[in-house]
Copies of this chain bind each other. A is one copy, B any other.
Amino acid sequence: MRDRRPEGERLSRATAHRLSLYLRALAVWPADGGRMSSTRIALACGVTDAQVRRDLASLGHLGRRGLGYDAPELSAAIRAVLGIDRVWRAVLVGVGNLARALLRYRGFRTQGFEVLALFDADPTKVGERVEGLAIEPTERLTDRVRDLGAELAILTVPADAAQPVADQLTAAGIRGVLNFAPVLLRLPPRVKLVSVDLAIQLEQLAFLIQHGEPAADPAAR
């Protein structure tokens, strides 16, 4: 039942990203009677209504002509196709300020991501409790990932530690890494990677300003 794609069509990365946005709009909007239309979603997310319909049609026949979509049903379908209709077990490596910010941000938990353990190479940090979890030494990483059955890792270590830690995580059988270190990580194809480089985001902003794009995209990445 998982991973059902109506046609042989694959969702593009861009579509997946927009689906995440739609999900936010669905959650926020005080939908009357649980109904939602492509036009309203489009308005909330800064895309065209045709785009919304295309994206949603690719999930199957969820809308009803003349009526729109049932918001809870649509949310569930999007969550299913994004793979967040279950809890993902994650570990976090590198407990600095960024990590503390992430841990405090409860959006993770509500979206189905659970951080099970924290690791840091600094011996003075080991044992400290952050958001209810005790920091463990990085040496334990491999064993603990296996024991916990963690599938995701959040990497908030300094740049020079990122690749070695990523290698350890790979060896431990992790399936995905969310990397915040400003380096280009090398991982085998079976380990998926999403990198968030904060400096790059600022560069993109500078680019947008410099080249005054006409269309303002309120949902710009």
Q: Give the interface residue-count category, chain A.
A: 35 or more
Q: A108 and B196 in contact (CB under 8 A), knowing A28-B184, A208-B176, A210-B83?
A: no
Q: Is A64 an interface residue (CB 8 A)?
A: no
Of A68-76, A117-125, A187-195, the stretch lying at the interface with chain B is A187-195
Give the residues from 17 to 60 in chain A that come closer than 8 angstroms, CB to CB, to chain B.
Answer: 17, 20-21, 23-25, 28, 44-46
Distance between A160 CB and nearest chain B CB, rounded to angstroms: 12
Q: A46 and B220 in contact (CB under 8 A), knowing A201-B194, A205-B194, A211-B3?
A: no
Q: Is A66 an interface residue (CB 8 A)?
A: no
- Closest-by-CB residue of B relative to A15 is B207
Q: Is A100 an interface residue (CB 8 A)?
A: yes
Q: A209 and B151 in contact (CB under 8 A), knowing A25-B184, A111-B202, A203-B82?
A: yes
Question: B100 touching A203 by the CB < 8 A rule?
Answer: no
Question: B202 touching A152 by the CB < 8 A rule?
Answer: yes
Please give, as numbers and ranges, the residues of chain B lying within 8 Å of A97 by CB-CB distance: 97-98, 100-101, 104
Mask, A72-105, CB within 8 Å of B = 1, is 0000000001111000101000001110111011
Q: Is A199 an interface residue (CB 8 A)?
A: yes
Mask, A161-186, CB within 8 Å of B = 1, is 00000000000000111100011111
Q: Is A132 an interface residue (CB 8 A)?
A: no
Distance between A208 CB and nearest chain B CB, rounded to angstroms: 4
Give Cα distance in the complex from A101 to B111, angstroms. 23
Q: Which of A97, A108, A187 has the most CB of B within 10 A?
A: A97
Give Cα distance in the complex from A197 to B44, angstroms. 16
Q: Is A215 an interface residue (CB 8 A)?
A: yes
Q: Is A140 an interface residue (CB 8 A)?
A: no
